[in-house]
Each structure stands twice: as structure tokens, then as C-alpha cells.
Chains A and B, each alone.
Chain A
């Protein structure tokens, strides 16, 4: 389990939208830029790690009950993405690391792979 506050801290990241509860715990991570793949995952309590910053990233998370999204490679969420995320109580986090670096740091602090 990893707390949102630790994700933010270890990745030098920022929360740009979300409930503000930094003590929420996340168990699993899944990294992909392919929403087709994300839609096949049925794990609960998941952080989606992605470099895909369009509205479908948020839609996919809405349908898949994913409550946490981390954007890597300095990808910025648009205003529409933030609005849709807020509406669905999805926490958005941005960081400037590569996907690989972000994943290895998160794994080190206890975020688990889905498979």
C-alpha cells in the first residue's frame, strides 16, 4: 500500500485535482498509454500511470472505476480533463519523470503490479 502523499513526495509530483485526502492508500499500479489495455484490467484500488493526456484517459478511468491517475513525462491535463476527473472524483497527479523511472520508484515504495 502506498499513500497519495508518498507518491507525490517521492516523485516530486503535484496533485492537480482530487479529493484532497492525501492519506488515501493505493495498492496496485498499471502503466500504459493504451486505453484498450487499461479496459481489460479488473483490479480494484489502482493507480493508472500514463503519458496519454486526452479526454479518453479520464473516460477510461471513469468506466474502469480507477480513482487515481499519474501523468508522466510532464504531460499536462487539459481543463476539460480536469473537469471530467473532478466530476468523477478521480485524483490527477502530474510528474516529469519518464514512465520507467516513475514505475521503478513506485514499485520500490510498495506499489504492486497487477500481474
Chain B
């Protein structure tokens, strides 16, 4: 099954709606609740990153019998140093983003913890692509 959701940069009132849809689908498929939580926390962190740091993006979801593969691509400033961005506490979030309850520099490390596979590539001034894979078994 494939699904595609749009993500709007800067729109915090909509942030999380794509991840929420994925959660509903996984629940309907009776996926183990612990794996659902790991997956949707990862997706939500990624979705909020697009909202907080990029201009626009989309979430492409591919659900198989044994796994979920999600690609989150955005058009935005990109990440100049991915190793640095992956460190806990590193954040370039604006004061507005912090006011919304984000910007602690915990998101990318938390995605790493909550996913079985995580691949991130980025081009400065072009955008970022993040792939998250979780197995159901």
C-alpha cells in the first residue's frame, strides 16, 4: 500500500496530520502497538522538522506485510553537517519554533532510536531526504 502526504513548512497547526494518518492506518492493520509508537514518533519528529526547518515537503509511505518504508523529502535550506545535526542538543531552531515546544535538538537522535533503519541525505539550499524503515516482526 502506498500513501502520500504533503507537509507545509511553517504551519504548526497542521504539523503532525500526516503522521496521524499513518498511525490510523497502522492501527487498522493491527500492527503491534509498540512498533506503531516507534514508527509514528519517528514520523512525527521528521514531519515537525520539515515544518520547523524547511519550506515544504512530502511524506511517502509504503506499507508491506513485514515493514513500513517512509521517505520524507523537503525543499529547504538542507543540512550542511549531518553528523553534527545528529548530535543530541544540536539545534538551529528559531525562537518561534521553541515557543511551539520544539528545538531541543533531540529529534534526529530520537528518530535513530525509534527506527530500525534511518538514512538521511541533504543538499544545502536544495533540501533534505530522510528514509525511515521499521519492521513489523
Contact = CB atoms under 8 A, between A and B. Distances in A.
Interface residues of A, number: 20
B13 interface: yes
A55 interface: yes
A54 B15 CA distance: 11
A74 interface: no
Interface stretch (B1-9, B37-45, B118-126): B37-45
Interface SS, B side: helix
Interface stretch (A9-17, A20-28, A30-38, A105-113): A30-38
Contacts of B104: 34, 36-37
B90 interface: no
A97 B8 CA distance: 36
B136 to A, nearest CB: 17
B41 A63 contact: yes
Interface of A: 33-37, 39-40, 42, 52, 54-57, 59-60, 62-65, 80
Contacts, number: 68
Nearest to B113: A40
Given A39-B107, A40-B110, A56-B15, 8 more contacts: A39-B45, A39-B110, A40-B113, A42-B37, A54-B12, A59-B20, A63-B19, A64-B41
Contacts of B37: 42, 63-65
B103 A59 contact: no
B29 interface: no
